[in-house]
Amino acid sequence: MVFSSSGIEVLPMHSPAAPSSSSALRRLGVLLAAPLLVLSAAGCEADAPATAAGSQAASSSAGVPAQPTEPQAGTDAGAAPPADGTGAGPAAIDVLATLPVKGRAPKTGYDREQFGQAWEDVDRNGCDTRNDILRAQLTDVVFANAGGCKVASGTLADPYTGSTISFVRGQDTSTAVQIDHVVALSDAWQKGAQQLSAGQRRALANDPLNLLAVDGPTNAAKGDGDAATWLPPNRGYRCAYVARQVAVKAAYSLWVTQAEHDAIAGILAGCPGQEIPAGGAAAGAAAADAAPAAPAPEAVVPGPAVGPGTETYYANCAAVRAAGAAPIRQGNPGYRAGLDGDGDGTGCE
């Protein structure tokens, strides 16, 4: 029997016992089919390891096996968390709908001291809140001390007016930039803050969510007005402004009056996608719960003795306020360094 290189039997041309034609055809069919079966089986076996190897290589390049992951709390399923870890808040108009609408409570009993000492170092980083906000919201900041705490100068892009203000620390210049409580403390007192603990009120007064560095005269014009009575002259900032007020009131369980609610809703109608500041609805409440109790208020002492041969003297800021002399500035009767905690020339702010 002779086989060709392909494995097919070749019949001798002069075989004395040549098989019948039907027998030869059957044998030829078997011989032809066998290599095809071998090739088919080999092909299947070759493909399977290649697929497995490809999957293994893909897993190795990723560093971990490919498997589904649970979405992080506060993020959409499948969305990567923001690089800065903050995230966007809910729509302000939706949060506004959750705020109670009530009348304004009496202002009886309100005092700045109900919200703790002005500009404390609540986060214990060695800097008071005013300087923390200046450092965070000004640019080109220059410090007055080596510790990098007391801001000597900087540039403010004022959100309330849209103007640029050069801040220079000093007796006659510091007030050009003031730190505004977006929800004024007096307004908060009349809309729920009376029911807060001392620690929660202290947190509200020092929460960056409620604090903005702004143009001084514009802040003075605002006073303790709410959105129904005052809005920033810069119309382009009004949506963000009322959204921040909504965030603060939601965080600290404060309410709005009907007029205030309608004013905010009217502004947000022009920017329905406006979100509250990131973390606003939860960060304030968490800070309030963690805040230590406020220190006991300073005892109010009688006003200073003023007369021939006497010198004006205030024992503390409570006495300055009781005398109607706050804020007291360098050069005013009774001013002394002990009343000016941040050394900017203005005490008992």
Q: Do 174 and 278 fall into the same domain?
A: yes
Q: Model confidence over 132-176: pLDDT tens digits? A: 999 999 999 999 988 889 999 999 999 999 999 999 999 999 999
Q: Which of 242, 268, 290 is the last residue of a domain?
A: 290
329 shares a domain with 190:
no
* 42 in a structural domain: no
Q: pLDDT for 85-135, tens place per residue?
A: 233 689 999 999 999 999 999 999 999 999 999 999 998 998 999 999 999
3-state secondary structure 112-181: HHHHCCCCCCCCCCCCCHHHHHHHHHCEEEEECCCCCCCEEEEEEECCCCCCEEEEECCCCCHHHEEEEE
DSSP state of 88: P
Query: 176 versus 328: which is more confidently predicted?
Result: 176
Q: Which domain holds residue 224?
A: 92-290
Q: Whose CA is closest to 201, among 316, 99, 113, 321?
A: 113
Last residue of a domain, one of 265, 290, 315: 290
Provide the residue type at 210 as one letter. N
230 and 320 in a single domain? The answer is no
Is there a single domain that holds both residue 168 and residue 257?
A: yes
Specify whether 142 is located in the same domain as 242: yes
335 lies in the same domain as 207? no
Is 309 inside a domain boundary? yes
Does residue 161 share a domain with residue 128? yes
State how many domains the chain has. Answer: 2
Residues 156 and 242 placed together within one structural domain of the fold: yes
Q: Which of the listed residues 246, 263, 290 is the one where a domain comes to its end?
A: 290
As a three-state string, the secondary structure of 231-285 is: CCCCHHHHHHHHHHHHHHHHHCCCCECHHHHHHHHHHHCCCCCCECCCCHHHHHH
Q: Which pTM value belongs to this model?
A: 0.60
- Percent of the chain at pLDDT exceeding 90: 51
Q: Is the pLDDT of residue 26 over 80?
A: no
